[in-house]
Each structure stands twice: as C-alpha cells, then as structure tokens.
Amino acid sequence: MGKITGMKIIAIILFAMLATQITTGLAGIAFDLHYWLGIAIGVAVITHLVVNWGWIKTSIFGIKPKV
C-alpha cells in the first residue's frame, strides 16, 4: 500500500470516528464509546501530523528541505 492510499484510508477513518463522536456527544448516549473514540481521534491526528510533518514544514512554515 502506498502512502497516498494509506492517507486516504486514514482520512476516511478519521471522518467516520469524528461523525460518531459528534453523534454520541450530541445524543448523550454511549459515554464509553464517546470517550474512547475521542482518545482514538487524538492518536490518529497525531499520527497524521507526524507522517505529514515534511509537507507541513514546507507548505505552512516555508522551511525548505535540506538536500
């Protein structure tokens, strides 16, 4: 599996977890699910940032990669 395919899969999973998080939070049901999905989303976001840190440095901060 390539990096692009992996990132697409992670984006879909993050979207599904976020939608479930919002639904369980608004409905006030399944507190355990809401809690653990919140932690999982945090881990997924941190993983996403670590994997894409090179792009973030170049695009957002304007730091050119050393060649």
- Which residues contact residue 25 at a Cβ distance below 8 angstroms, ignoring those fewer than 6 apart? 34
Q: Provide the pLDDT for residue 29.
A: 67
14-18, 25-29, 44-48 — which is least confidently predicted? 25-29
Token reading at 7: 């990132």
62 backbone φψ class: left, alpha, beta (φ>0; ψ -120 to 50): left
Measure CA 35 to chain center: 16
Other C-beta atoms lying within 10 Å of the C-beta of residue 37: 21
* Entry pTM: 0.62
Q: Does residue 29 or residue 33 have the better pLDDT?
A: 33
Q: Taking the chain, what is the end-to-end CA distance rounded to the nearest angstrom?
A: 27
Using the predicted structure, report yes or no on whether residue 59 has a pLDDT greater than 70: yes
Q: Provide the pLDDT for residue 28.
A: 67
